[in-house]
Amino acid sequence: MICKWCGKEFTPDKHRIKYCSDECARHAKRRREQNKKRWRRNATGDQKNTRISLSEVYERDKGVCQICGLPVPRDCDRNDDWAASRDHIIPITKQGAHTYFNCQLAHRICNSAKQDNGAEFRIDWMSRILSDPERWEKKINHLRFLLAKEANQSTG
């Protein structure tokens, strides 16, 4: 069999293997991802190197999540559920552009819940707490803790 990336001849050790090594498979995967991004940019008319500053989106949206309406902590671990993230109002998967005007501030958890729903998607945390308090109350309490910690740091 011939490797689809480098063109070397090889004997596959598994069924339906297309590449001679993990390295060739990684290169091919990276190229597919780049082509997919390039196609999306061309389809939506985006600039190739559009950089959207999270801090600019944070300031414009006044530190409020545009999906749930709760404050977004400015200085928390970026892997935290309540960390700030850029959400595409019209998802890129639905031909939305990667532009400043198509981005809004959102908590990571809200952004994940939205998935590829459109601009009308909203989260009502109070109804989620009422439906499953054991699961959601801990998360809301963690947000309260982060916001209180941030308020204490700014006053003292």
63 CB neighbour count, 10 Å cutoff: 14
Query: Any idea which of 18-22, 67-71, 109-113 has the lowest mean pLDDT?
Result: 18-22
How confident is the prediction for the chain on average, in pLDDT?
A: 88
- In this prediction, residue 38 has a pLDDT band, given cuts at 50, 70 and 90, of confident
What are 64-108's pLDDT values in tens digits? 999 999 999 998 999 999 999 999 999 888 888 888 899 999 999
pTM above 0.75, yes or no: no
Residue 43 has pLDDT above 90, yes or no: no
Separation CA 51–CA 48 (nearest Å): 9
6 CB neighbour count, 10 Å cutoff: 14
C-alpha R_g of the chain: 21
Query: Any idea which of 28-42, 51-65, 124-138 has the lowest mean pLDDT?
Result: 28-42
